[in-house]
Structures are given as C-alpha cells and as structure tokens.
C-alpha cells in the first residue's frame, strides 16, 4: 500500500488513523469515548479506507480484536477509553497474551495537564498492564508528543508481531490527540524472522534417528500457510505422528493419516499414554502451558521423562519451565521450512507406532453411546462437521461444553483454509460470540459457527446486536450460534462434585428464553429438543442469510464428553468413603 498523502497541520488523532491504514489495518473494534474524539473524527475522514466497529462492551471489543489477530495477517486493533474502558478491556488483553496473539490496544488517557492528580478515570497503564513474562502486554507505551505518534505506532506493530506474538498497549493523552502536527506516517513494518541454527537442526536430526517412539507436538501463533504446509511435508517425510496443543487443533490437518489428536483438556486416554510413553517429544510452537502438559505432569517439569526438543519463537519461553535436550529459537513463519530440510532415512522404526496412534484418534471420534438423553452432543458435533463447509471458522469460549466440539469435530489445517479454530487458551468465558462476530465481519464469505454454553454466552451476549448493526452473517457465508443450555456453570459444578459431592452452591443458573433473547436482537432463532431435529435446524441456519441461534437445552447430568455428573459424584463419594476408612 502506498503511503497516504502528506498533509500538514492535521490533528494527531487523524495522524493515528492514517498510521493504522499504513500498517494494513482495515477494521478497528472498540467502544467510543470522549477521551479520543479526534481519533473518531479521523475514522470519519477516512471512512473509505478503514472502519470502526462500535461494540457494546470493551471486553467484547478486545475479544473481537484478538480474533482478528488470530485470523491475521496483521495484528487486531482495539480502541477504548480510559479507566473503566481500559479495565473492561483487560480480559481480551490477557487472552491475547496467553494465546500469543498480536493485538494493539489503544487507550485514551487524561491530558498531560491533569496527570498524577487522580483525575477523572485516570489510571497508570504501565502499572496496570505492566509488561513481563507474567503480565498482560509485551509493551506499554504512552505518547507524550504528537510528532512522535507515528514512531510509537510503528513500534507497537513491530513489537506485537516480533518473536512470540502478543498484545501491546499504546496510551493516548487526549490533549496530545488534539495537537496539530505535520508528522508523516512511517512505512508498514514487518516482523524479522529468526531461523534455527544449522547445528541445532543437525542435532535434531540425530535425535530423530535415535528415537523409537517420537511424537511431534504442534501449536502456537505465527504460522503461515506456507510454513504449515512445509511442516506437513516434514512429518510425511519422517512419517512421524503429529498432535496439536490445547486449542491449536487447526495447526495440522486433522484429516491427515499422521494426525493423532489434541493434547489438552479431555485428552484421549490413549494419546495421554502415548505422550507419556514417547521417547522423543519434538514441540514446535506450543508454549507447553498447564493445559497442554496436564498440569505439568504429562510432561513432567522441570525435567521431562522423555527427551524434549522445544522450538519456539520467543527466547524468553525457551527453558523457562523445562530443561530440554535441545532448544531452538525460530519464527513459526519459517519453522516448517527449516524442518522440511532435514533429510529423512529410507526407513523409520515407528511406522506401527504412528499407525496405532492414528487408529486410536479415529476410535476417539466415534461417539460414546449415551442413553436417556434428548440431545446427544456428540451427534450434534458430528452433524456440524458433516454439513458445514470445509473452511468454516469455529469459535468457542470456556466451559465443559467445549469438550464435545474439540473431541468430535476435525479441523482443517490452516494451510488449506486459514485459521478455523478461534478459542481461548486462557479459558476466558464469553470469548466465542465476539470472536464469531469478528470472523463474520472480516471473512463474510466464510461460514462461522459459535459453540456456546449458557453461562458462556451471557458474558458477552449483547454483542449479538453488534453483529446486526454491522451486517455480520448477511454475506455469502453464515453466522450460527449453537447454545448448549444446562442451566449451570458446568465446569464449576464438576469441580464441586469432585471435591464436595452433593454440596452444590452458586453454580446453578436461572436463564432467559434464549430464542426470545436472540430474536429481540434481530437474529433468527429456534429451539431444538431432540437430536433428530438438529440436522434440519442447522441446514436452515446455513442458508438463512441472517445470524441464527440454535438453542439446545440439555440435562446438567451431561457434564463432559466422557462422563456424567452422576458418575463423577459417585466416584467422589467412593473416594471420600475410602479416605474416611483410612483415617
């Protein structure tokens, strides 16, 4: 994109919008505030080149920006006002940090003449979002002079994309935004890619040659279609089985005969056994957090039982938790190409190992028989997988309801369809609906399916009206929200019953009529009470031409894709009884 025409004596708020355009931004999510009126006027000035999506809550807005960062290719951008606005936005910022998603959060601030007086809505954002390995942002900057605004914007985008991607915060005092400046915008920035050292790659090859039961574990942010395709060729050349880390299931084609499943919550027991029994784990891009490592026990910290090779884009991540046998720093945009260059031997020792693990994955896809239920969520997920287009984007928030989606719906590899899974590794409830709205707005030709729980949906359900206001789900694609309603915070209920069986408090929910609620927002909606009726309802939603909500009421006893509430409670009673006998 060619630079915007240089104009003198324009407000810094207009310069900011021009700088965003130069960085390739076409959509900004946010909630308008009086602290950045010159920026809003800049959007008006450049409405033909960039749009501002006005949301109903800053949490929803930052979730949308985070989803945009996942979809790429540029960071998602969110604009919120000071104090309460920034506080509301924190959940999306935390999600972006834990998911390694490039996001630029712009926050209005009180003017310099009011600073340090605890003025109206004043907050020190460097303290609030303080950068660090356990913070919420990679960098927090505050622009004190209008002529330096383009410099700060360029740095923000570079920092968000460089190394391990993540969120940055740029604070904008309102008096600075009103200042006239002739500062030119800076050219579009691109991340500098780090390649693994040749000697390290030779060492990796030697470790592969010495292995008998290797497993490739893939995840993380920053992949390109080309790098993901090259990674697939590496796996094929070596015939090594491939698993994906928690909520990064679209990093490898789940339909491939080398794919063996996802390593996260509700892991296939056969895969968990394989991870523990592997003699070499080659981890590419995944952060090896608590969920992927089974609470740091499936892969023991700090020294795993398996030989461990860890490739990651961020040097601060390498060696932070695990004492690996080999550490490689590499941008994921080039990691696949680097690994593809490793010459494979004519024969490998683990062909049967890979075949058995893939067979175990296929067996795990077969729905577990259930009796006495009106809605079989396994069959619902399989129906969605069968009817939805291959490039469908699936979004979810947090809760036990996600277990059926993650287990029974195979994702296409991002080299084929781009990102198809938008899900928070941070475990943020309410993420799914705003992410779905963002995906529908940014990719109107794609189908978007939001898989929600009842408590999950009502965290950000007001963004249904944002979808209507901006035309989401009205293009050639579709926007569909499937709401699984067990009238409970199901995950909390599960943990209660495990620790304190029969002593239930706070987790039951009193819900609205979700069909009437969705229709009030302008959505099409219907209730489905039996599994047999879901296929027709979903088929109607695919061609509706408007956003559609499908309400699925289920019993709270349907707690996970592998167990019922009754079974969990009974096991807890037995455990407590045994403990009492022992003591």
Residue 228: CATH number of its domain: 3.40.50.1220
**Is residue 538 assigned to a domain?**
yes
Per DSSP, what are the bridge partners of residue 328? 311
Instruction: Check residue 561 and give its pLDDT.
Output: 87
Is the pLDDT assigned to residue 558 strictly greater than 50?
yes
**Is residue 312 assigned to a domain?**
yes
* Domain identity same for 356 and 376: no
Instruction: Check residue 6 and give its pLDDT.
Output: 53
Instruction: Check residue 1 and give its pLDDT.
Output: 47
- If one counts the domains in the chain, the total is 3
* Domain identity same for 412 and 351: no
* Domain identity same for 372 and 350: no
Helix (H, G, I), strand (E, B) or coil at 63: helix
Give the mean model confidence (pLDDT) for residues 362-380: 92
* Domain identity same for 381 and 355: no
**Is residue 190 assigned to a domain?**
no
Give the mean model confidence (pLDDT) for residues 100-116: 89
Contacts (Cβ under 8 Å, ≥6 apart) of 157:
23, 74, 75, 104, 189
From residue 297, give the alpha-carbon distance in Å to each of 218, 243, 302, 361, 477: 19, 17, 10, 22, 42
> Among 250, 249, 240, 245, which residue's Cα sits nearest to residue 357?
240
**Is residue 214 assigned to a domain?**
yes
Q: In angstroms, rounded to a whole number, what is the distance separating the alpha carbons of residues 158 and 153? A: 9
Instruction: Check residue 566 and give its pLDDT.
Output: 87
Last residue of a domain, one of 181, 207, 239: 181
Helix (H, G, I), strand (E, B) or coil at 277: helix
Q: Taking all residues of the chain, what is their mean pLDDT, rounded to a whole number?
A: 94
Express each pLDDT in 59-90 by its tens digit.
999 999 999 999 999 999 999 999 999 999 99
**Is residue 327 assigned to a domain?**
yes
Is the pLDDT assigned to residue 489 strictly greater than 80?
yes
pTM value is 0.95
Instruction: Check residue 5 and give its pLDDT.
Output: 52
* Domain identity same for 417 and 533: yes
* Domain identity same for 400 and 359: no
At which residue do the structure tokens 């505050």 appear? 142
**Is residue 202 assigned to a domain?**
yes
List strands edge to edge, sheet with 27-30.
Answer: 51-54, 27-30, 76-80, 103-109, 167-173, 139-142
Show the domain range for 561.
Answer: 368-570
The enclosing H or E element of 28 equals strand 27-30
Express each pLDDT in 114-150 by its tens digit.
777 777 767 888 888 987 666 799 999 999 999 999 9
**Is residue 316 assigned to a domain?**
yes
Last residue of a domain, one of 150, 181, 212: 181
* Domain identity same for 173 and 210: no
* Domain identity same for 133 and 275: no
Last residue of a domain, one of 330, 348, 363: 363
Q: What is the CATH number of the domain that holds 71?
A: 3.40.50.970
Backbone φ and ψ of 205, nearest 5°: -60, -40
Express each pLDDT in 190-214 by its tens digit.
999 999 999 999 999 999 999 999 9
* Domain identity same for 39 and 143: yes
> Among 553, 542, 552, 551, which residue's Cα sits nearest to residue 384?
542
* Domain identity same for 167 and 23: yes
Backbone φ and ψ of 109, nearest 5°: -140, 155
Express each pLDDT in 385-438 by its tens digit.
999 999 999 999 999 999 999 999 999 989 888 999 999 999 999 999 999 999
* Domain identity same for 308 and 204: yes
Express each pLDDT in 151-187 by its tens digit.
999 999 999 999 999 999 999 999 999 999 999 999 9
**Is residue 427 assigned to a domain?**
yes
* Domain identity same for 207 and 344: yes
Beta-strand relationship, 51-54 and 76-80: unpaired
CB atoms within 10 A of CB 36: 26
Express each pLDDT in 461-481 by its tens digit.
999 999 999 999 998 999 999
Instruction: Check residue 133 and give its pLDDT.
Output: 62
């Amino acid at each position: 994109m060619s630079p915007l025409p240089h104009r003198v004596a324009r407000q810094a708020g207009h310069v900011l919008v021009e700088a965003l355009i130069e960085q390739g931004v076409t959509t900004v999510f946010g909630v308008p505030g009086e602290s950045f009126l010159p920026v809003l006027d800049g959007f008006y000035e450049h409405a033909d080149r960039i749009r501002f999506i006005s949301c109903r809550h800053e949490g929803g807005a930052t979730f949308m920006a985070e989803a945009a960062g996942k979809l790429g290719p540029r960071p998602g951008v969110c604009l919120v006002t000071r104090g309460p606005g920034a506080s509301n936005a924190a959940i999306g910022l935390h999600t972006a940090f834990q998911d390694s998603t490039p996001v630029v959060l712009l926050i209005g601030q009180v003017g310099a003449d009011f600073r340090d007086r605890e003025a109206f809505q004043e907050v020190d954002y460097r303290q609030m979002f303080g950068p660090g390995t356990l913070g919420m942002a990679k960098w927090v900057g505050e622009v004190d002079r209008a002529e330096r605004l383009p410099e700060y914007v360029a740095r923000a985008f570079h920092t968000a994309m460089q190394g391990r991607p993540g969120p940055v915060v740029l604070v904008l005092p309102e008096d600075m935004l009103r200042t006239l400046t002739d500062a030119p915008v800076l050219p579009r920035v691109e991340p500098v890619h780090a390649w693994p050292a040749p000697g390290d790659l030779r060492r990796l090859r030697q470790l592969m040659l010495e292995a008998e039961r290797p497993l490739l574990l893939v995840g993380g942010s920053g992949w390109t279609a080309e790098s993901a395709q090259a990674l697939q060729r590496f796996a094929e050349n070596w015939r090594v089985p491939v698993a994906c880390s928690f909520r990064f299931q679209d990093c490898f084609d789940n339909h491939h005969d080398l794919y063996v499943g996802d390593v996260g919550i509700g892991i296939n027991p056969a895969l968990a056994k394989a991870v523990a029994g592997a003699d070499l784990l080659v981890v590419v891009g995944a952060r090896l957090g608590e969920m992927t490592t089974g609470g740091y026990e499936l892969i023991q910290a700090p020294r795993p039982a398996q030989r461990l090779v860890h490739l990651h884009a961020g040097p601060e991540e390498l060696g932070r938790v695990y004492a690996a046998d080999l550490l490689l720093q590499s941008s994921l945009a080039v990691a696949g190409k680097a690994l593809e260059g490793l010459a494979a031997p004519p024969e490998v020792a683990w062909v049967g190992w890979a075949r058995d693990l893939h067979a175990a994955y296929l067996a795990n896809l077969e729905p577990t028989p259930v009796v006495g239920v009106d809605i079989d969520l396994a069959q619902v997920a399989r129906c969605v997988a069968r009817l939805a287009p291959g490039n469908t984007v699936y979004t979810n928030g947090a809760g036990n309801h996600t277990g059926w989606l993650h287990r029974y719906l195979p994702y296409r590899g991002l080299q084929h369809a781009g990102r198809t899974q938008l899900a928070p590794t941070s475990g943020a409830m309410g993420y799914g609906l705003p992410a779905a709205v963002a995906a529908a707005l940014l990719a109107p030709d794609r189908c978007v399916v939001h898989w929600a729980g009842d408590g999950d949906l009502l965290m950000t359900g007001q963004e249904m009206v944002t979808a209507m206001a901006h035309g989401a789900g009205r293009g050639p694609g579709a926007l569909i929200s499937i709401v699984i309603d067990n009238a409970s915070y199901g995950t909390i209920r599960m943990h209660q019953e495990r620790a304190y069986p029969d002593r239930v408090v706070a987790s039951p929910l009193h819900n609205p009529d979700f069909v009437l609620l969705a229709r009030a927002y302008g959505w099409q909606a219907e209730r489905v009470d039996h599994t047999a009726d879901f296929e027709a309802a979903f088929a109607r939603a695919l061609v509706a031409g408007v956003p559609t909500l499908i309400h699925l009421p289920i019993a709270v006893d349907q707690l996970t894709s592998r167990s019922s509430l009754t079974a969990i409670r009974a096991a807890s009673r037995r455990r407590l009884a045994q403990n009492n006998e022992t003591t």
